[in-house]
Amino acid sequence: MRWKVLLLVLMIMLMLSLAACTPAPEPMHLHQIYQRDSIRVGILNGPTSYYVTADGATGYEYELAVALADKLGVKLDLVPSFHLEELLEKLRTGQVDVIASGSTVSESLRAQYRLAPAYQWSDEVLVFRQTEKKPKSLAELSAPVVVLKGSSQAETMLKKQAELPELALSLNETDDATELLQQVADGKIQYTVADSHLLAINQRFYPNLGVAMVLKSQQPVAWLLAKNNDDSLMSVLVEFFGRSYEGAELLSLEDKYFGHVRRFNYADTLDYIEAIDKVLPRYRALFEQHSGNLDWRLLAAIAYQESRWDPKARSPQGVVGMMMLTVNTANSMKVTSRVDAAQSIRGGSQYLQKLLDRMPERVKMPDRLWFALAGYNIGYNHVESARMLTEKDGADPDKWAEVKQRLSLLRQRKYYSQTRTGYARGDHAVYYVENIRRYFDTLLWVDEKKQAELKIQQQKQKLAEEYGEQLEAAANKPAAKDNKKTTTKTGTDRKS
């Protein structure tokens, strides 16, 4: 019995000794986040992830990061960068907790890091300029394909090159994916590879960008975490993205940034950009004058959708003018001539504001605006019918992303018979709203670009004027010195 007690004592001593030699476990990742009261999110600057406007920060990934910080009840410590490799280094060294790049994840990155649940899927596509001949295969390419070094697209192309050695490839280390798309549009390079959701965003501004072929389908877009055995933050992300799917937050966010850009019309976008340059200047002052609480560029986008900025446009249904007002709407807005551009724009603006004011207060922007635009197209009561059908389905009637899926049901008798308002071309209202959103985005981009160019021109002119004054002053100053020297010399000569 005694030897058993002795053995037990020895075992306890051995366990204590081993415990003393074993380093203390690192605090859990999630615990560290709560300790510092912030989550550090590495994020790429770009149109699909994060960028800063006059109204502040925005972007799909940015809004996800804000929502995650809110869920955790901590501050958001954003770490932006133009280069993924810089963010990966910060993740490896613990300077960021997670990376939200907004791009597809390569197979090599999947092996080196942990992927949070994918919340979006995108194709990797070969992009070319639509004014050039469309290649039918990689073997037909007439120039190198330029891709970002270290990107998922570069990895895809390197594998293609291994199969097709004559395929020319250029790995770019200085630009970002959006800049490469712009270079294709400008004719500086002929081909690049991009995520399809990034291309869709940029086609509004560069309509000559086209898809030559899909290289990889349905690639995951997901956040990256360091590869370790700590599951605390990963568990939070699994729940966060799962609940966001269930609660339709991801659906609403997807619709906000990408829902209106999936349908792209090359010819229409080209015509629109040309009209911005040639037609819009005639009416811009009127849109600015009558915009009220609205952005004048939104009002202009509505007018383009309605009439292509033609004040005498007339539809088969009898609506007339720049803003295509019906007789009843024109009368209620005190418009005496529907073909008078100023009256039509004023009437259309006031009518849209009336629709916005009519929406329940709980409906927030921008959903409130999309509902009002749909009401402008098919009538407020039909939109309310679609919201009622949405609520019956157990979905959120205050979210445009949910309601637009039910608007098309107003064409079907088994659905519109459940409403007081009956049949409506609800699918047309969806196209109508999404077209206006595209036109608005494009006009914002063109107008801001022109303002930036004008500002640069004014700065150059100011510098030229200041430099000219300095040159004139400098030219006059030496002349005065020469006169003085001549006088002195003359005086000296006299003394001699």
- CA–CA dist 242, 251 (Å, integer): 12
- CA–CA dist 245, 257 (Å, integer): 16
Structure tokens given for 293: 């609480």
Mark 268-296 as b/e (b = at least 16 C-beta within 10 Å): ebeebbeebeeebeebeebbeebbeebeb
- CA–CA dist 140, 156 (Å, integer): 18
- CA–CA dist 442, 436 (Å, integer): 10
Burial class (CB in 10 A: 0-12, 13-18, 19+), 486: exposed
Residues 181 and 202: beta-carbon distance below 8 Å: yes
- CA–CA dist 180, 391 (Å, integer): 44
- CA–CA dist 161, 170 (Å, integer): 11
Strand partners, 146: 170, 192
**Is 306 designated active site?**
yes
Active-site position among 249, 306, 384, 402: 306
Residue 183 CA from chain centroid, whole number: 19
Which residue is associated with the tokens 């605390």?
232
- CA–CA dist 297, 441 (Å, integer): 9
Residues 51 and 80: beta-carbon distance below 8 Å: no
For β-strands 56-58 and 51-53, DSSP reports them as antiparallel
DSSP per residue, 313-361: -B-TTS-BTTTTB-HHHHHHTT-S-TT-HHHHHHHHHHHHHHHHHHS-T
Residue 184 CA from chain centroid, whole number: 20
Q: Which residues are catalytic?
A: 306
